[in-house]
Amino acid sequence: MSARSQAIVVVGASLAGVRAAEELRGEGFDGSITVVGDEVHAPYDRPPLSKQVLAGHWDIDRLPLTAGVDGGIDALDLEWRLGTLATGLDLDARQVILADAERLGFDGLVIATGATPRRLPGSEGLSGVHTLRTLDDCLAVRAEVDAGARRLVVVGAGFIGAEVAATCRTRGLDVTILEALPVPLGQALGEEMGSVLADLHRDHGVDVRLGTAVAGLDGGGDGRVERVRLADGAAIEADLVVVGIGVVPNTGWLEGSGLTLDDGVVCDATTLAAPGVVGAGDVARWPSRRFGELLRVEHWDNAIAMGAHAARRLLAWLDAEQANGGRASREPEPYDPVPWFWSDQYDRKIQLAGRSAGADEVRVVDGSTGERRFVALYRRGDRLVGALAMNRPRQLLAFQRLIDRGASWAEAIGSADPSARS
């Protein structure tokens, strides 16, 4: 068990960081835990931002993260450094450097700094143009809708853009989705499934324009966005633009630290990024033995599971250190989950388990895409690697278990509806 004198610093005061801190305490770590986060808000949950909060159904007092212990997060005895940006990491000195040049020493470090939305070049300084990642982003978009915005253009048909489109369409706005690819999420989900998502929006009256690149945004004399110019010369009038063109992991503060940075902080299979340093959540990349690739997963469920795993990994490292390089009392285990994700759009719950990108085959095995109630399976070689479901949560879970077991394609097809076996 840990010595009281040990100090752990967690950078990133959100889902992965808080879950890591909770696990550290749950495993009996009684040293100091300092949580550094650049947002001023107490840690909160992001998925409702594009759903219930934007819809106006939830107040923000439902968002704060809680802990599964009596007394909640307060009972974890954490030292909070909110509104504080980490700007550097000195691995030799074992210190995190803060924006005001203060240095926080640590024995163990959890990197959980998440990701930041890509911006549309040329949109700087125009009001009415937003990304959606933080509570402040969400409140800014919601305020525009509450104030009477009528014409929303969503740039990018990924999950965040699609949820914003669905929520705002349900609130009665005229919505256009612009997507540069020929099919939304085509590379991730495959063409057929991407088309199903596009059609879902069209059925609800959204103008979905595919293969459409944005050339620029025009503002009026008041500096407010008025139209989106397209590469083909057309223009779409807009009084609100939400840009959802993906995120970049927040690793800028780690430049020059000696850690391997490559689309995230690269960890080993156990989440260790360097001796006494672990990574978790949207910022972290690790080699998945199950899928044979480096993964970086931007899912709520992964932030929780990886945060907890990384905390246990860090304690194993600290235990080994305390024993002067002796045998670790806890053997480090690889982190190798089946990633799982959900998205709510209109009255549909979309869920994805496992891996869908780069599949050799996609087959609908339950329900039908026409009814918008189905499960589609993804095959790589002779293995089941992924499952996508729309309004089929129970069935999705069954296939998720098969992926977890490493089931063959034949077994997965055999367990599905007989009509899907051909």
The residues of the shown chain that bind ligand FAD, judged by CB under 6 A, are 11-17, 36-39, 46-47, 49-50, 85-86, 112-115, 132-133, 160, 250, 253, 281-282, 298-301, 303, 341-343
* CA pair distance 168, 277, nearest whole angstrom: 41
Element (H, E) at 36: strand 32-37
Crossing angle of the two packed helices 15-26 and 300-322, in degrees rounded to 10? 40
Name which of 96 and 153 has its Cβ closer to ligand FAD: 96
Name which of 352 and 416 has its Cβ closer to ligand FAD: 352
Task: Provide, rounded to whole angstroms, the least separation between the CB of residue 368 and ligand FAD.
Answer: 24
240, 152 contact by CB (below 8 A): yes
Name which of 239 and 282 has its Cβ closer to ligand FAD: 282
Residue 71 makes CB contacts below 8 A (sequence gap 6+) with none
Task: Provide, rounded to whole angstroms, the least separation between the CB of residue 100 and ligand FAD.
Answer: 12
Task: Provide, rounded to whole angstroms, the least separation between the CB of residue 303 and ligand FAD.
Answer: 4
Q: Is residue 410 helix, strand or coil?
A: helix
**Strands 247-249 and 115-117, bridge-based pairing:** antiparallel
- Residue 390: beta bridge partners? 350, 374
* CA pair distance 383, 407, nearest whole angstrom: 6
Q: Alpha helices, DSSP H only, in 87-211?
A: 135-146, 159-170, 186-189, 191-203
Task: Provide, rounded to whole angstroms, the least separation between the CB of residue 81 and ligand FAD.
Answer: 8
Task: Provide, rounded to whole angstroms, the least separation between the CB of residue 180 and ligand FAD.
Answer: 21
Name which of 66 and 329 has its Cβ closer to ligand FAD: 66
Name which of 85 and 140 has its Cβ closer to ligand FAD: 85
Distance of CA 403 to the CA centre of its chain: 21
Name which of 49 and 265 has its Cβ closer to ligand FAD: 49
Burial of 269 (0-12, 13-18, 19+ CB in 10 A): middle
Task: Provide, rounded to whole angstroms, the least separation between the CB of residue 71 and ligand FAD.
Answer: 22
Name which of 244 and 363 has its Cβ closer to ligand FAD: 244
Task: Provide, rounded to whole angstroms, the least separation between the CB of residue 177 and ligand FAD.
Answer: 16
Name which of 201 and 299 has its Cβ closer to ligand FAD: 299
Neighbours of 342 (CB within 10 A): 17
Number of H helices, E strands in the chain: 9, 27
Name which of 193 and 407 has its Cβ closer to ligand FAD: 193
Closest alpha carbon to 157 in 187, 114, 116: 187
Task: Provide, rounded to whole angstroms, the least separation between the CB of residue 381 and ligand FAD.
Answer: 27
Task: Provide, rounded to whole angstroms, the least separation between the CB of residue 382 and ligand FAD.
Answer: 29
Distances (CA, A) of 381 to 216, 409, 418: 43, 8, 22
* CA pair distance 212, 236, nearest whole angstrom: 12
Phi, psi of 183 (to 5 degrees): -140, 135
Residue 67 makes CB contacts below 8 A (sequence gap 6+) with 18, 22, 73, 75, 76
Name which of 55 and 230 has its Cβ closer to ligand FAD: 55
Task: Provide, rounded to whole angstroms, the least separation between the CB of residue 165 and ligand FAD.
Answer: 13
